Amino acid sequence: MCNTERFSEYAVSANRQSIAPKAIHRRGRGYGRLPGRSAWGMLLLLVGFAFTGNAATITTGIDEEARLPYWHVQDEGASIRLVQRLPDQTRAFFMARGFSADQAELIAQSCVFQTVFKNISNESRPSPIRYTLRDWTVRRNGVTGTLKTRADWAAQWEALNVSQAARIAFEWSLFPTQQTYQPGDYNWGMSIFQLPPGTSFELDLSWTQYGETRGVRIQDIQCAADTGPEPGDR
């Protein structure tokens, strides 16, 4: 089992013990086993396309712990990291939590990333940060789309008669649809981009901090390819 699997399992376990439908991690508790630095340094350093003129930086490389590609945005007060998840990881993770092979396949074929969002303004100018995934835009071949959120999936799982226990595990595994973090807070979970494995796309990220909307466009993000068995072979 790879380390990104353990991140998600920890998040599910921690969140099930929480009364509120979120698990914000506070400064001072340590970041635990979050996706780490690149195993071989930064592959690329860019100045991001900023919606408000702020000079966000974008780096990409191979995540040290997941051993898979990552894309990382860092602004004055925000740090956002997307790490590929293999379709096979996603299949195994959700089948172990009560989903059938066909149900898990719906998720595995939808381009899943592990997302880590930190409010790092405690290191400079402290300020709360707020985001909503519904404001993030996926761009591919001139067509725009959105991420598939917890609410979007909930209706589908109900129609497919997925068990309540499996639905709860799924909900806690996903990155929260919207959240406010105080300086030093952070969270992580799976983000689902509704694209086939192996697809390249652009992503417009946005968040609110310092009394303004900030954002950046990440180019050439790559969904993990599907190297697993054909459906009939499982």
Mean pLDDT by 10 residues, the chain (234 residues): 36 31 47 37 42 75 96 96 97 97 97 98 96 97 96 95 96 96 97 97 97 96 84 50
pLDDT of residue 51: 47
Stated pTM of the model: 0.78
Tokens 């599910």 locate to: 12
Residue 77 tokens read as: 């007060």
**What is the total residue count of the chain?**
234
Using CB atoms within 10 Å of the CB of residue 230, give its burial: 0 to 12 exposed, 13 to 18 middle, 19+ buried: exposed
Cβ atoms of 117 and 174 within 8 Å: the answer is no
Using CB atoms within 10 Å of the CB of residue 226, give its burial: 0 to 12 exposed, 13 to 18 middle, 19+ buried: middle
Tokens 């998840």 locate to: 85
Cβ atoms of 35 and 7 within 8 Å: the answer is yes
Tokens 């807070």 locate to: 185
